[in-house]
Amino acid sequence: MSELAAENLVLYSCEDRVAQLTLNRPEKLNAFNDDLVRQLADALRRFDLDPQAEVAIICGAGRAFSSGADVQQRQLRRREEFLQHGGPQGWGANSADLLTRSVNWKPVIAAPHGYAMGLALGIVLECDLIVAEAGTKFQITETSRGLGGSKYWALLNFRGAAAFAAEVALTGRFFTAEEALAAGVVNRVAPTGRHLETARELAAEVAKNPPLSVRATVRTRRWYMDQIGREVAMQTAPLKLYLTEDFHEAARAFAEKRKPGPFKGR
């Protein structure tokens, strides 16, 4: 990837005290390779320090918010790389750190459309507010990929969707924005084509308030979210599911566009 292309992976703009961070890899459905994760981290840092911005909206260019992790780059690594990095992510490209490392703790709104799957769903759930376009489809792809849905179960449960969280984490099925709204996972479902407009309306409501008051709530929310995430990581990291035969079979099958299996439980 050229330096110019890397610079354009996340577009940043700011208007009326609302920053917009646009995932800009539409030809790959904004699939997260290591560079995209790093560029999003840089954009969030820029927003955190931008004196003109009080609220941010994360959205995706093209047909979808994001199809999730880039399987070719992050899940088909050599075993040695998985051991070096401690998982599918590259060095400095762990998406779990995106919203829990801040100075000013400004609120972030996710505005997904089309699809938000796997890693991308995690980012959406970690945002402080969610405005989804009608018909948006979500999926915990890690369940069928052999990586486990523990993190997503925890994030959904954190949002109060206990029974729903268990179902979608254990089945790995698609669920819609409308189901997510009914389960209390998302804040608003916007009409088709109006998710950004609706997200901006919500951002404007937030921005009317004293900024330090808003940030205090954001900081508290993310502290508890981070605590839950770290507890899950402490339980699941020793399993090293990214080294199992089942994970590698599922990842290869996805890349080869075939049905995976049979799984061996090892």
pLDDT for the residue 64: 98
pLDDT for the residue 74: 62
Sheet holding 18-23, edge to edge: 10-15, 18-23, 55-60, 108-110, 129-133, 188-190
pLDDT for the residue 5: 45
Rounded distance, CA 40 to CA 26, Å?
15
CATH, domain 3-195+205-255, list 3.10.450.30, 3.20.20.140, 3.30.465.10, 3.90.226.10? 3.90.226.10
pLDDT for the residue 2: 37
Question: The pTM is what?
Answer: 0.92
Query: pLDDT per residue over 228-247, tens digit each?
Result: 999 999 999 999 998 999 98
Rg (C-alpha) for the chain, rounded Å, is: 18
Average of pLDDT values for 118-133?
98
| List of residues 6+ apart from 230 with CB closer than 8 A | none
Average of pLDDT values for 100-121?
97
Pairing of strands 137-139, 175-176: antiparallel
pLDDT at residue 30 greater than cutoff 50: yes
List the chain domain ranges.
3-195+205-255
On the CB side of 170, CA atoms within 13 Å amount to 6
Pairing of strands 129-133, 115-117: unpaired
